[in-house]
Chains A and B, each alone.
Chain A
Amino acid sequence: MKNLLKEVTLSCVALLACFNTMASENKNNKPGAEEEFNSVEMIMHHISDAHDFHFLDYTDSEGVEHAVSIPLPVILYTNNGLVCFMSSAFHHNDDGSYVVSKRGTNFVKYHEKIYQLNDGASSLEFDEQHHPLNAVKPIDVSITKNVFSMLLSLVLLLTLFGAAGRSARKNPGAPKGILAFLEPIIVFIREDIIIPNVGEKKYKTYIPYLITIFFFIFFNNLLGLIPGGANVTGNIAVTLVLSVFTLLVTNFSANKAYWKHIFLPPVPLALYPIMVPIEVIGVLTKPFALMIRLFANITAGHIIILSLISLIFVFKSIFIAPVSVGFVLFMYTLELLVALLQAYIFTLLSALFIGQAIEEHH
């Protein structure tokens, strides 16, 4: 099991190496122009999705800027079919001025979004509402930072839990290896989260979903905390999908008592115009709150850490560094706690909603 994990990690690293790692590119030819440090821009860049893993920029002795990054594949579905190329084709240009021509269509990248220029256009133009005047957006199904990180955590989950499951089946008695680490956590989730909330009788159907959600969120929270990692659970689209899963599982396993409580609540008839809309909206607001809670907690944590680090650059003094790094260490510890806690809360509330849906009328 340990060897398998080592193999998988090494093959991931080798895969990254194939993508022309440490691709050092000439960003612009201005010799060493010192620009103002914009902390908002830096923070937004770090918490948003991107088409490459961008680690740092450095200026070499001749004053030319280089960037150290790992490019990721760009896959676009245009009218001409599927167009694939590496994001290094854009040469780190993010303001829509560098045109990449593939298969007769011209693409530019503006703020990490890829646009397809209409015929005859040579650069991107926007109107006042920031709509592109001479370009359309193709369907972008690239492997971006978030997609790559999700695939990585997928591989991690499958490896760890596959190994744990095999070991549990083969060796009865005291668990050894990765199972010894995972089993207490899984039993805790089952005993303290799932059974009290979902109920003794029907909890077995929902164990796979709830445990998967817990570990998926937990691993992605942790991977996002690694410097240079992707902010997966801090992306509202990802948390939206997770809360939609909870919504679907809850409502498709709901019994008649649940729907009766929503549409025919046990109140006087005069209160129906108030109660029924509130109950119907309540069906949607509960997963909505799940989504916002996870997204905001994780993103806020990242923003705090990045802001504290950027204090060093705002004050332009090395003496701020010990204070700043001390605060950042404290915030990192808090963030580790928050990573675990948010996974726990998401799972707990999902179990609670499922339990409410399948509860028998008492």
Chain B
Amino acid sequence: MDFGAFAAIGAGLAAIGAGIGIGNIGGSAMEAIARQPEATSKIQTNMIIAAALIEGVALFAVVVALMK
């Protein structure tokens, strides 16, 4: 059993999770900016923060995959 392959699959699944999550955030941020363009900078700041947090979780999984 080649565990290296499972590690690669795990990392790929983590990437899918991150993609879905950050895509959601990006989409909501776009809608919010479309509704209220004056609040663009606030929305952008919060979007970046949430994206970084989600990416942190995805990278947890990458780190575990790297261990193998």
Residues of A with Cβ closer than 8 Å to B? 192, 289, 292-293, 295-297, 300, 341-342, 345, 348
B56 at the A/B interface (Cβ < 8 Å)? yes
Identify which of B45, B48, B49, B56 contacts A297 (C-beta below 8 A).
B56
Task: Identify the B interface with A (CB < 8 A).
Answer: 45, 48-49, 52-53, 55-56, 59-60, 62-63
| A176, chain B: closest CB distance, angstroms | 28
B59:A345 contact, CB within 8 angstroms: no
* Nearest chain B residue, comparing its CB with the CB of A303: B66
Question: CB distance A345 to B52 under 8 Å?
Answer: yes
Known contacts A292-B63, A295-B63; is-contact A348 B49 (Cβ 8 Å): yes
Number of A-B contacts (CB under 8 A): 31
CA A296 to CA B53, docked complex, whole Å: 12
B59 touches A293 (CB 8 A): yes
A345 with B63: in contact, given A289-B56, A296-B56 (CB under 8 Å)?
Answer: no
With a cutoff of 8 Å between Cβ atoms, the chain B residues found around residue A341 in the complex are 48, 52
Q: How far is the CA of A6 from the CA of B37 in the complex (A)?
A: 45
Residues A296 and B52 in contact, CB atoms below 8 Å apart: no
Q: Give the secondary structure class of B's interface.
A: helix
- Whose C-beta in chain A lies nearest to the C-beta of B53? A345
Q: Give me 11 A-to-B residue pairs in the complex whose CB atoms sit less than 8 angstroms apart, sorted by A's number.
A: A293-B53, A293-B56, A296-B60, A296-B62, A297-B55, A297-B56, A297-B59, A341-B48, A342-B52, A345-B49, A345-B52
| For the complex of A and B, 6 pairs with smallest distance between CB atoms | A296-B59, A293-B56, A345-B52, A296-B63, A341-B52, A292-B60
C-alpha spacing A292/B60, complex, angstroms: 7
Give the nearest-CB partner of B56 in chain A.
A293
Determine the residue in chain A with the shortest Cβ distance to B52.
A345
In the complex, the answer to whether A300 meets B59 with C-beta atoms within 8 Å is yes
Docked Cα-Cα span, A289 to B53, in Å, equals: 10
Cα separation A295 to B56 with both chains bound (whole Å): 10
Residues of A within 8 A of B48 (CB): 341
Given A293-B53, A341-B48, A345-B52, 4 new contacts (CB under 8 A): A292-B60, A292-B63, A293-B52, A297-B55
Q: How far is the CB of A288 from chain B (nearest CB, A)?
A: 10
Instruction: Please give the distance in Å from B41's CB to the nearest CB on chain A.
Output: 11
* B52 lies within 8 A of A300 (CB): no
Please name all residues of chain A whose beta carbon is closer than 8 Å to the beta carbon of B55 when the two chains form the complex. 293, 297
Contacts of A300 in B (CB 8 A): 59, 62
Contact partners of B62 in chain A: CB under 8 A: 296, 300
